[in-house]
Every structure is written in structure tokens, then in C-alpha cells.
Structure 1
Amino acid sequence: MSTVILGGGIIGLSTAYYLSLARGPSPAIHIVDSAPALLASASGFAGGFLAADWFSPSVASLGALSFRLHRELAEKHNGPRRWGYAGSHTYNLSIDERGVAGKSTGKQERKDDWLREGTSRAESAGSNPEANGRRDAGGGDGGGEGEVLNPDGSPAVWTPQAGGTLETISGPENCAQVEPRELCEFLLDECTKRGVEVHLSTKATGIITDDNGVLKGLRLQSTNNAGEAGAGELELECKDVLISAGAWTPRVFKALFPQSKLLIPVEPLAGHSIVVRSPRYKTPFVNPTKRRIGGASDDWRCYSIYCAPGRHWSYAPEAFARLARNGETEIWLGGLNDSSLPLPELASDVKAMIDPESIKSLRKMTVQLAGLAKEGDQANHDDLETVREGLCFRPVSKRGTPVLGKIPEHYLGVRPGGGGVWLASGHGPWGISLSLGTGLVTSELISGQKPSADILGLLIG
């Protein structure tokens, strides 16, 4: 019998990908998504930052596994050209000494709740021998081919800040970037080649059991006919069900198990972002040391920058000078979050909720960080081309870490038989970074294999 994956974001796609690798071409894997198209929220509009060691102890093993899998996938399938995989120099920007608290020691306690608190992600940075003790803004390589530098040696993609200091906190051995939508599209293409079936505009409305109360399938309904009784209904037999619907995961679980007392500890957190092109970032940077990471024959490099709240912004901006397909350059900027925005019914409804005032605030921050500098105290010139504006609803767990594993039978009210009901959600801002590791581990759990990472601290129940 088949496995049904509820949610077609990067976690669901990664799980389907690794399941299909293990099983070979097979129609026994189904992805069900309520929206008319995939990647309408977080997985399609995220920043795409990857880290190897920026995680708390309970997530560290999964984080290291996933970072390795990202690199291996890029090396095998030309990730630099196909979804912009590139190693990343990573900085913390301090303005007027407003920076990451305790960063000088490298031993501060990592915070899994930095996103909720509105502080900088750089507080989670791991101890990286390549970066320790360094303050060189140029990443230590003196500027690569095609790279334009500021007078202070920092990459010209970032505008020098009065009273600001760039601190190198990690390098391309430990950090990388991808264009998330293009990575997801690759995974989807590989899945469909192996017979994975995708059901769009479809939601799960209930479970089906046999005469002994054992789970044997799901009731599905078309979201195009949701207001018509009995319209678009079908049944899909399965042995295993994975709920990986991102911020919508608690709703999906409640629809299937309305009598359950289990409260899925995942909440939605909205975040706006914009993507721009800059005249100072037209070609990929190339590291002259030629350490080919991720299979890039050109050895492309990206830049990430994190900022604490300060006099120019009340939130903690994140900016990624990244690549898209075939080395197309762009800058993603975000960090402006809003916990008050309600989660819509469908991911496809998110676009209409983009707030013009939030985008205006982001644009001002973007010009401050990446606009053309003017002399003196004049505001930077806005010479940036807008590529797109976005809004993500990220699934943030109450404990600050992902929630993975098999849901205990006593929470379901049905017997799972030889399969089970599984959960993979709550990744917050780390969904892209942890995606491949989560997909592999979840596929192993469903297949009855020992997981490749230690996820004991992430299990539910």
C-alpha cells in the first residue's frame, strides 16, 4: 500500500524524493496539497540560507546531515547551475556597537527562539575555525574574480554603513545558499519521473479504517468544490500518512483526528521579503582559491549578512546576495515578521495578503543596506530593480525546534496497523536548510530503517 504526504512544500518534496529513491519507480507515493499550485508560501519565497552548525544540540545532528546532503545533491546534479547552490561568506553587521551579544567569545548559548524574540539569526552561529578571530570584511580571500569591492575591502553588494562594522562569522565550508523555489522544482521533477503522483487543489477531510479499526486510507476532497456537498470527493488507500503541511499542519491534523487531545505545537509566523537586482552585483563572485564546493566548476560564492535591530530598523534584517539558475544574481532581503497576520485557508491566498506598508519598510531597509551610497549623511540612492515581493507563513514550533516522528497511537483513536501517521513540521526559518535531512530521516522512519541522524530530542509525544 502507498504513502500519502499531506503538504507539497520542501519538507514533503524532500521526503517523497528520498522515498522514491529507496523504492524505485512506483505509483505508491502521493503528494496531496490543498492549493492549486505548489510553493505559494514559505518554500517558494524563503531566503535559502544553509548552515552546518548553527543549531542547538537537539537539532545539531540533523543540521549536519542536511548540510552534507545539500552539498552532495548539488555535486551530483549540477546544483550551482540548476538551483544556485553556492558556498557563502557570512557576516554580522554591527552599527554603533549594536551587534550580537557575546559574539566575541564564540561561546554564547544558542537561542532557538531568536526568531520569536526579533533578534539576529547570527546569535545561532556555530563556532567556525575558518572565521574565528577574523574581522576582515572581504571574507579572507581579498576579492574574487568579477567581484567589486568597497574601499574598506568589503563586497560592494553591501553599502558601507556609517559607524558600522562587518564581522566574518562563517565561511563557505560551513554555510551555503540556494534558490529555494528552483531546488523544490528540481525535487518535484525528480519525484514525478519516479512515478510520484501529485494531487493539487485537494485536501484530506477524514480517515478510512477497516472493520478492525485499522487505518487503511484517507478521504479527500477537491478544494475547488469545497462548498458543494459530496463534490470532488475520493478515497485513497494508504498504509502511511505524513503530515508535512508547514504552518497548516495543525489544521490538517485536526481535520483528520478531530477528537484527538493532541495539540500540534506549531504556530504560523508571517514574514515579508523582497528580491532585488543591483548594478553592483551583476556576475557571480568566484573564489580564487578554487575550492570547488558543491560541484561548481566556476566555484561561485555568495554573501550573507545579518543585522541586529538598530537605529535604521526596529527588526533584525537578513540579506542574501545569492544566485538563481545559471548564475543569475539577485539579493533577497527579509526579517520583518508579523505574528498577528492570520493564516489563510490556502497557501495560494497568501499573495493577496502582502502588506504595502511592510514592503515599504523593507524597501527602505534594502536601500540602506544595498543602495548606491551618497556622500555625507544623504540617504542612499535607490537604484535597485525589484524582482518580486513575497510573504511567507513559516511553521514555528513552541519549543523552537522541528517536530518529527510517528504520532503515538493513543493520540489517533485508530490503529495504524503496519504503518502509521507521521509528522514533520515546525522548522521555522530553517526549513530550507534542514529540508533534505528531514526528508531522508522521515523516509527512513516510514520504511522502518534506522534514521541517519539523531532526532531523539525532536520526536513528538
Structure 2
Amino acid sequence: MATLIVGGGIIGLSTAYYLSETQDVVVVDTAPELFRCASGRSGGYMSRLWYGPEVAPLGKLSFRLHAEAAAAHDGAAAWGYRRTTAWSIKSAGRRPETEYAEERLPKDGAMPPWVFGDPAESYVLDGEDDCAQVNPRLLCEHLYRTCVARGVRIIHPCVVESVAGTKAVRSATLRHLVTGAAETVSIGAVVFATGAWTADAFKRALPAASYTPPVSALAGFALVLSSPRVPYVGTDAPVDPDAHPSTDVAYYLDAPAPSAEPQASAIDVTQALFVRPAAGESWSPEIFLRANGEIFYAGLNEASYEPPVIARPAPAYTKDPLASSRQSATFASALAAMTEAAIIAPGRNKFDAVLESARNLLGPDVSVLRRSVCVRPVTPSGDPIIGLVPPERAAGLANVYVCAGHGPWGISLSLGTGRVMADIVTGQPVSADVSALAP
């Protein structure tokens, strides 16, 4: 029987990617268009080493699998895979705009040339052996296409209303959100990999379970920028940073350019900057230069942000999950009020603060290409939850798994997580020790 994966983001698709090598897989997601949240809108920075002892084996496995996948499928062109140099810099604080009369770059050229002015301190954290960079949406699209080619059934927008069986999982009832129609599928296992929505999805499908995955949402406000000091070969035109659209579907503010073609390359070796704030600054920017020359600028988070949930019948929508066009006017109109209330209104000052920081560090002439709210799934421990839920905590059902809570490391840990989850579900030797991460 098939394995049902609840969640079509980077973790769900990575699990489907490896499971589909040996068995049938069904993936269900509530989103009208996939990859419109953390899976497609995060920074895409990947590390081999930056984990605690419980996660370290998974981190090393995943970093290796990312490198192998890029080598096998031309990830450099397909999803912007690059080895990266990571810098730690200390902000020099806010400067008067008059100080930008000319660039004040370090004389030895050690700092990336797209940093506009001298930081107070700087040093290299990691070199190319230990960190890398991808465009996360393009990586998701590669996983999606590979899964579909293998026969994986990906259903969305759709919600899992219930999971049932006697002693073990045997079926699931799905509700298609466009038509409202119900469907029952035969399954032998279910994996909940729904990111920040994992607790809600789990309790909806298994209301009698005593266990609830302790996964909550941490919203990050990000800008994607271009700079005249970096060759940019992307296709997005700058947007007005003072304009706040209110008709886009939840999770994005600005839609990305089409990405069906291989990604053009402007950068051979990408760079990452982790900024330590100066006195009086309250947050730490994280800045990633991508292969096409765009700069991802983030680091300002909001723990009280409540991500919107789509779990009801909806009007017609664009059926191509990889299309970057806007949703239909009817669907966008239906969500406009929710989007304004849940994303734009509380995010106005956040985006303004991110842009002010970017102009201070990268120069007042940077252009805004996209804005996004990246909703990351976090746990109280800071570590992901990966493994089998004991039957006594899953309403007496065996073969119920949870795979969520990766925080800022979802992209980095994605392929390793998918490989390990496939091992666990199929009863194979586990490729990395994740026993400390079990539910």
C-alpha cells in the first residue's frame, strides 16, 4: 500500500523523493500553489556543521546528499547550487547618508565587494567545504518533477480529514478544497510533514490521539534585492518598496518570476553574511548572495505571527503547481481581506526595518525585487521531530510518523531528512542516527 505524506513542501517532497524509489506515494497539501511559504521563500543557505549533537549526523548526511544530487542533476544550473563562503561581520551602526558619497571597501579586498562600507569587524566563519547555497524554490521544483515522473500522486489544495485503521493505518479520507469532494485512499503509513501547520494537520486527522506535535510558527520577514555592485541576471523587475499589495494569495507578497528554464548564472562562488548588531540594534541580519546575482536579506523574525490556514472549498485556481502567475481574480479576491489582516498590516514596519538595514549595509541604491513572509516551523527544543509516533499516542494506530520542526534549517536538512524518513518507513538501516529526534 501507498505511504501518505501530509505536506508538499521541501520536507514532504524530500521524503517522497526517496520513498518513491521503492513504493507508491501520495502527497497531499492544502496550498493552492506549492512552495509559497518557507520551502520556496527561505534563504537557501546550507551548512555541514552548524548543529547540536542530536542533529549533527543528519546535517552531515544531508550536506553530502545535496552535493551528490547537484553533481548528478546539474544542480548548479537547475537550482543554483554553489559552494559558499560564510562571513561574520559586526555592524558599524547606522550611518548618515552622506557617508555613501563613495564606497569605503576594505583595501585588501577581503570582504565581498557588494558590501557597501566597512563593517566594524569581519572574519570568515566557514569555507566552501562546509557550506553551500541554493535557490530553494528551484530545488523544490526539481524534487516535484522527479516525484511526478516516478508516479507520485500530488494532490492540492486538499486536506486530510481523517486517518483510520485497526491497530495500524489503513486508509485516509481526503477533502478536495476546490470541488468539496471526498476521496478515500488506501495507505499503509502516514507521514505528517506540514511545517508550521503540522500540529493542526495531525489533530485534524487523528483527533483521538493523545500526542500533538509541538510545532509552532516563527515568521521571518525577508527582502530579495539587487545591487549595482553585483551582476544580476534574474528576470524580476524591481517593485516599489512603498507599495503594499493586498490581493496576493497568502504567504507571498510578491510572486517570483517563472522558473521553468535553468537558472542563469552570474556568480561562481556565492557568499553568506551573518551580521552581529551594533549597540542599539535589536536584530541580526542574515544575507545570502545567490547564483543569479540576487541578494536575500532577512533575520527579522516575529514569534507572535499567526499563519493563515486554507482548509475550505475554494474557487478555481491555477492548476499548474509550478506556475508563477497570480491565482485567479476570484480566488485572490476571496483571500484579499485575510491577506491584508494577517500579513500586510503587521508586516509593514517589519519590511521597512529590513529595507533600512539593507540600505545601511549594502548601499542606498539597492532595489527590492520581492518581499515575503517566511513561516518556519519551530519546536521548544530547537531540534526537528523525526520518527514514529508510538501507537499508544497515535489513537492506537501503528505506522504514524512525524517529520517537522526544522526551523531555519529546513532546506539544509531536507534531503537527509527525506532519506532517513524513507529508511524508517521502509524498515531499512537508518542512514543517520536520529534517535534523539523521535516524537
TM-score by length of 2: 0.80
Q: Describe how 1:333-344 pairs up with structure 2 within 5 A.
A: 333-344=297-308
CA RMSD of aligned residues (A): 2.3
Give the conservation status (yes or no) of the 8 Å contact 2:228–2:366: yes
Q: Within 2, Cα distance between the matches of 1:334 and 1:60?
A: 24
Q: What one-letter code is carried by the residue in structure 1 that aligns with 2:401?
A: W
1:240 aligns with 2:232: no
Alignment coverage as a number of residue pairs: 370
Residue of 337, 359, 382 corresponding to 2:351: 359
Match of 2:361 in 1: 369
Are 2:182 and 1:218 equivalent residues in the alignment?
Answer: no
Where 2:281 maps in the other structure, the secondary structure is: coil
Partner AA of 1:456 in structure 2:
S
- Secondary structure (helix, strand or coil) at the match of 1:300 reads coil
Of 103, 126, 132 in structure 2, the residue corresponding to residue 176 of structure 1 is 132
Of 428, 431, 442, the match for 2:410: 431
Q: Deviations over 1:5-44 (max 9, x none)?
A: 1000000010111112344xxxx21110011111111001
Deviations 1:140-189 (A, max 9, x none): xxxxxxxx975341221112235x11111110110110000000001101
The answer on whether the counterparts of 1:42 and 1:392 sit within 8 Å (CA) in structure 2 is yes
Aligned partner of 1:345: which letter? V
Task: Name the CA distance, whole Å, in 2 between partners of 1:197 and 1:64.
Answer: 30
Moved over 4 A (4+): 347-352
Counterpart of 1:290? none
Following the alignment from structure 1 to structure 2, what is the Cα–Cα distance between the partners of residues 445 and 405? 7
What is the CA–CA distance in structure 1 between the aligned matches of 2:81 and 2:89, rounded to whole Å? 24
Aligned counterparts of 2:118 and 2:105: Cα–Cα separation in 1: 14
Instruction: Find 1:403's aligned residue among 362, 365, 385.
Output: 385
The 3-state SS of whatever aligns with 2:21 is: helix
Please give the alpha-carbon distance, in whole angstroms, between the structure 2 residues aligned to 1:362 and 1:299: 24
The residue aligned with 1:388 is 370
**3-state DSSP class of the match of 1:21?**
coil
Specify the alignment match of 1:294 in structure 2. Answer: none
> What displacement does 1:258 show?
1.4
Rounded Cα–Cα distance in structure 2 between residues aligned with 1:315 and 1:203: 37
Counterpart-to-counterpart distance in 1, 2:70 and 2:28:
27
Contact residue 231 and residue 266 of structure 2 kept, 8 A: no
Contact 2:267 2:293 in 1 (8 A): no
Q: How do 1:92-111 residues align onto structure 2 when only pairs under 5 Å count? A: 92-95=88-91
Contact 2:169 2:400 in 1 (8 A): no
Which digits, 9 at most, give the CA deviation of each residue in 1:359-401, with x for residues without a partner? 1111011111211xxxxxxxxxx22222210101110011110
How far apart are the structure 2 equivalents of 1:50 and 1:76?
18
Q: Give the aligned partner of residue 208 of structure 2.
A: 259
Structure 1 gap ranges (5+): 98-147, 226-230, 285-296, 372-381
Identity within the alignment, % = 36
Q: Please say if 1:20 is aligned against 2:16.
A: no
Taking the aligned partners of 1:240 and 1:189, their CA distance within structure 2 comes to: 23
The alpha carbon displacement at 1:283 in A equals 6.2
The answer for the alignment partner of 1:32 in structure 2 is 28
Equivalence for 1:421: 400
2:172 is paired with a residue whose SS is strand
Deviations 1:243-274 (A, max 9, x none): 00000000011111212221311111111101
Instruction: After superposition, give the CA deviation of every residue in 1:32-88 in whole Å (9 maximum; x if it has no partner).
Output: 001111111100100000000111110000000000001111011111111111011
Instruction: List aligned pairs for 1:65-104, cutoff 5 A.
Output: 65-95=61-91
Structure 1 counterpart of 2:301, which letter? N
Corresponding residue SS for 1:433: helix
Instruction: Show CA shifts across 1:218-255 (max 9, x none).
Output: 11112235xxxxx3111111001010000000001111
Q: What are the ranges of 5 or more consecutive residues in structure 2 without an aligned counterpart?
A: 94-103, 234-264, 312-331
Going from structure 1 to structure 2, the CA distance change for 1:450 and 1:213 (only over 3 Å counts) comes to closer
Per the alignment, in what secondary structure is the counterpart of residue 357 of structure 1? Answer: helix
- Quote the offset at 1:415 in angstroms: 3.2
Mapping of residues 120-139 of structure 1, within 5 Å: none
- Structure-2 separation of matches of 1:370 and 1:415: 54
Partner residue of 1:194?
150
Provide the C-alpha distance between the structure 2 equivalents of 1:299 and 1:387, rounded to a whole number of angstroms. Answer: 18
